[in-house]
Amino acid sequence: MKFKTLDWVDGALHMLDQRLLPNKVENVVLHTFEEVAESIKNLTVRGAPAIGVAAAYGMALAANRMELTEEEFSDEMERAGAVLRNARPTAVNLAWAVNRMLDVMEENGAIPLPEMRKFAIREAIKIHHEDASMCSKIGTNGAALLSDGMTILTHCNAGALATAGMGTALAVIYAAASQGKKLKVYADETRPVLQGARLTMWELMQEGIDATLITDNTAASVFAAGKIDAVIVGADRIAANGDVANKIGTYNVAVLAAHHGVPFYVAAPRSTFDMSLSDGSKIPIEERSGDEVVQIGGSRLAPANAKTFTPAFDVTPIQLITAIVSDEGVMPGGRA
Ligand code: MRU
């Protein structure tokens, strides 16, 4: 990739500021877990795997707060974990990464504090590298589903910007392209905050993939014209029965794909699966500020005080999914 979404440099977390893309390519440099939690909330970093990795670094920053004494350590880690976990509720990767940091620190509780601080950093870096490696495996596992000449539709951004590696849904496209397959991609703009227009288009164009931007409401006519051979999207949480929470509008695309007989693939790492929830109806769906709907780039689109409903995610039932591609392989869905 030609950019780094997250980077650990000299004891600080460097984060590509995704709020500014595609107009500016700038990093923010974070030194506290509170700053990391705020950056997750305000979408400086977004995408399920990326917010998990950011939260792991947030825990490492909490462990390295120098005024912290040995007696205060575990209470403070619990507090930092709760603040980070609460930053966004839907993507399970966030809680997964925080809980893993807490568990390994507790299991190694006998380590003296100076060593524990280094240990926390090493564990966060390990989570970062594991995420990158899971992305590559997803790419390899999914590439076999795509043939030369196909046109793929994607929704939101499930690329390198949403992970610590080459992405999930977009990793499949990058891996197939690297095998010499010529692919075309349609990117839904993805209202309200335009991850498709601002991020997926930027990322695909950086990587030399033939990408076309469409408004969300153009998707149906593109399917009807027979232009789409497959859909690939990411996931924020996958319940035990295979139902998938992903960016609002994913369900619309899944219904369209089923109606037009086009395969609908979901790509996600193990850290996105939540076996504690029996089905998608149990997945907590984040509601964001109505400002994201009534404004674009600070310009008002709707009357002042317009009522809004702004869920950030929806749930696609497993019956509408052809297959789920993970780092462990390809699992058939209800449309297989
Ligand atoms: O609100 P966002 O931008 O964090 O939503 C992101 C998505 O819905 C992605 O598709 C999902 O997190 C998978 S990213 C590999």
pLDDT of res. 73: 94
Rounded CA separation 214/230 (Å): 16
Mean pLDDT, rounded, for 116-136: 98
Give pLDDT tens digits for 62-81: 999 999 999 999 999 999 99
Q: How far apart are the first and last CA of the chain?
A: 32
Catalytic sites, residue numbers: 236
Mean pLDDT, rounded, for 144-167: 98
Q: pTM for the complete prediction?
A: 0.97
pLDDT of res. 304: 82
What distance in angstroms lies between residue 72's CA and the mean position of ligand 1's atoms?
Answer: 35
Task: With CA atoms as reference, report the closest residue to 235 among 128, 292, 322, 155.
Answer: 155
Has residue 162 got a pLDDT over 90?
Answer: yes
Question: What is the DSSP secondary-structure string of 154-195?
Answer: E-S--BGGGSSSSBSHHHHHHHHHHTT---EEEEE--TTTTH
CA atoms within 13 A on the CB side of 7: 12
Contact 313, 233 (CB under 8 A): no
Question: What percent of the chain is predicted at pLDDT more than 70?
Answer: 100
What distance in angstroms lies between residue 112's CA and the mean position of ligand 1's atoms?
Answer: 38
CA atoms within 13 A on the CB side of 306: 15
Give pLDDT tens digits for 177-218: 999 999 999 999 999 999 999 999 999 999 999 999 999 999
Contact 172, 144 (CB under 8 A): no
CA distances from 298 to 51, 200, 254 (A): 25, 21, 31
Query: How sure is the predictor about 1, in pLDDT bands with cuts at 50, 70 and 90?
Result: confident
Contact 33, 80 (CB under 8 A): yes
Domains of the chain (ranges; CATH) run 6-136 (1.20.120.420), 141-332 (3.40.50.10470)
Has residue 110 got a pLDDT over 90?
Answer: no
Q: Which atom of ligand 1 is nearest to the CA of 93?
A: 12
Residue with tokens 């997750």: 40
Mean pLDDT, rounded, for 138-146: 98
Rounded CA separation 298/172 (Å): 35
Query: How sure is the predictor about 333, in pLDDT bands with cuts at 50, 70 and 90?
Result: very high
Residue with tokens 């705020």: 38
Residues 6+ apart with CB under 8 A from 300: 294
Q: Which atom of ligand 1 is nearest to the CA of 51?
A: 4
pLDDT of res. 109: 85
Q: Which amino acid is at 188?
A: D
- Average model confidence (pLDDT) for the chain? 97
What distance in angstroms lies between residue 77's CA and the mean position of ligand 1's atoms?
Answer: 27
Kindly list the protein residues whose Cβ atom lies closer than 6 A to any atom of ligand 1.
Answer: 46-49, 91, 156, 158, 162-163, 168, 195, 233-236, 246-247, 312
Q: Which atom of ligand 1 is nearest to the CA of 48?
A: 12
Task: With CA atoms as reference, report the closest residue to 84 among 116, 132, 41, 125.
Answer: 41
- Residue 232 CA, chain-centre distance (Å), reads 14
- Under DSSP, is residue 268 helix (H, G, I), strand (E, B) or coil? coil
pLDDT of res. 2: 87
Give pLDDT tens digits for 292-312: 999 988 899 999 899 999 999
Residue with tokens 């960016």: 247
CA distances from 272 to 156, 238, 327 (A): 16, 6, 11
What distance in angstroms lies between residue 332's CA and the mean position of ligand 1's atoms?
Answer: 22
Residues 6+ apart with CB under 8 A from 225: none
The β-bridge relationship of strands 237-239 and 313-316 is unpaired
Rounded CA separation 213/219 (Å): 10
Mean pLDDT, rounded, for 272-296: 96
Mutate to test the pocket of ligand 1, among 236, 237, 251, 289 (most ligand atoms within 8 A of CB): 236
Has residue 24 got a pLDDT over 90?
Answer: yes
Contact 138, 330 (CB under 8 A): no
Mean pLDDT, rounded, for 267-272: 94
Letter string b/e over residues 231-248, b meaning 16 or more CB atoms within 10 A of that residue's CB: bbbbbbbbbeebbbbbbb
Query: Phi/psi zone of residue 296: left (φ > 0), alpha (ψ -120 to 50 degrees), beta?
Result: beta
